Amino acid sequence: MNNISPLTPIALWRTVFASFLLMGALATQSALAAACCTAPDEEEGKTAQLSSDSIYQLEDTWTNADGATVRLSDLRGPHRIVAMFYASCTYVCPMLVADLKKIEAKLPADAKVEFTLFSFDPDRDTPAALKKFAERQDIALPNWQLLTGSEDGARELSAVLGIRYRKEPNGDIAHSSPITLLDGDGRIVAQLSGLNEDPAPLLHALSDAHDH
């Protein structure tokens, strides 16, 4: 399986996310027009409070390794390091997990950071498949989340994170492997563009965030 070199992830994120913000603005106008007749939904209220550049505004639902439903807005709170993978991957994704573990090992003891892996492969990545992958990779699920969703959800999230992927006829998925640091409200703080990169920029951004 070949790893695709990413296209300037932050620039791609800004371009794609601008279109999401436009759609969000139109949806907000419609919601305001209907406000006199409709009681606000709790989840919609939660999403409305998000920053305009938060990826947690994306509305697709995901499923974790225990079969529970997760919305991106549910991930608010701690800083979060995120990437995308698929559970049957035997080369790039284990390397990606190894990179994430190296970052985890370098975090300050008091750092409140969680790790989340989103699947490219909703057809095969059932909760059971996610759990088996976590066992093979010795991932500590209390501190990590593995999530699977819909094809549309994976495409949308990958575009926002600046990740490119394509499915091969043999079932493999060729993909780029950025690692992204999000703040507590789902805004991109820093990003490593691929595997085996020096994590110092991401760690420095995390340290700066905790100092403020």
pLDDT, one tens digit per residue, over 184-201 is 999 999 999 989 999 998
Three-state DSSP class for residue 122: coil
Q: What is the pLDDT of residue 51?
A: 80
User: How far is the C-alpha of 179 from the C-alpha of 199, rounded, in Å?
Assistant: 9
User: What are the tokens at 135?
Assistant: 């066992």
Q: Which helix (DSSP H) or strand (DSSP E) does residue 50 occupy? A: none
One-character DSSP codes across 134-198: HHHTT--TTTEEEEE--HHHHHHHHHHHT--EEE-TTS-EEE---EEEE-TTS-EEEEE-STT--
The reply to whether 45 falls in a domain is yes
Per residue in 149-195, pLDDT (tens digit) is: 999 999 999 999 999 999 999 989 999 999 999 999 999 999 999 89
User: How far is the C-alpha of 13 from the C-alpha of 16, rounded, in Å?
Assistant: 5
- Work out the mean pLDDT of the chain and round it to a whole number: 81
Quick one: residue 211, left, alpha or beta (phi over 0 = left, psi -120 to 50 = alpha)?
alpha
User: Which range marks the domain in which residue 83 is found?
Assistant: 9-211
User: How far is the C-alpha of 54 from the C-alpha of 101, rounded, in Å?
Assistant: 25
Indicate if the pLDDT at residue 23 is higher than 60.
no
Query: Percentage of residues in the chain with pLDDT exceeding 90?
Result: 62
| Alpha-carbon Rg for the chain in angstroms | 17
Beta bridge partners of 85: 119
pLDDT: which is higher, 30 or 130: 130
pLDDT: which is higher, 7 or 140: 140
The reply to whether 102 falls in a domain is yes
The reply to whether 1 falls in a domain is no
Indicate if the pLDDT at residue 44 is higher than 90.
no
What is the model's pTM? 0.77
One-character DSSP codes across 64-120: ETTS-EEEGGGG-SSEEEEEEE-TT-SSHHHHHHHHHHHHHHTS-TT--EEEEEEES
pLDDT: which is higher, 51 or 193: 193
Indicate if the pLDDT at residue 146 is higher than 90.
yes
* Cα three-residue angle 30-33-36, rounded to 5 degrees: 135
| CATH, residue 99 | 3.40.30.10
The reply to whether 141 falls in a domain is yes
- Yes or no: say if 8 and 162 are a contact pair by the CB < 8 Å rule: yes
pLDDT: which is higher, 89 or 5: 89
Q: Pairing mode, if any, of strands 69-71 and 61-64?
A: antiparallel
pLDDT: which is higher, 26 or 212: 212
The reply to whether 95 falls in a domain is yes
Please state the domain count of the chain. Answer: 1
Indicate if the pLDDT at residue 3 is higher than 60.
no
- Tell me the mean pLDDT in the region 52-71: 94
Query: Percentage of residues in the chain with pLDDT exceeding 70?
Result: 75
- Tell me the mean pLDDT in the region 26-50: 45
Per residue in 84-131, pLDDT (tens digit) is: 999 999 999 999 999 999 999 998 888 889 999 999 999 999 999 999
The reply to whether 4 falls in a domain is no
Q: What is the pLDDT of residue 211?
A: 61
The reply to whether 19 falls in a domain is yes
Q: What is the pLDDT of residue 194?
A: 87
The reply to whether 65 falls in a domain is yes
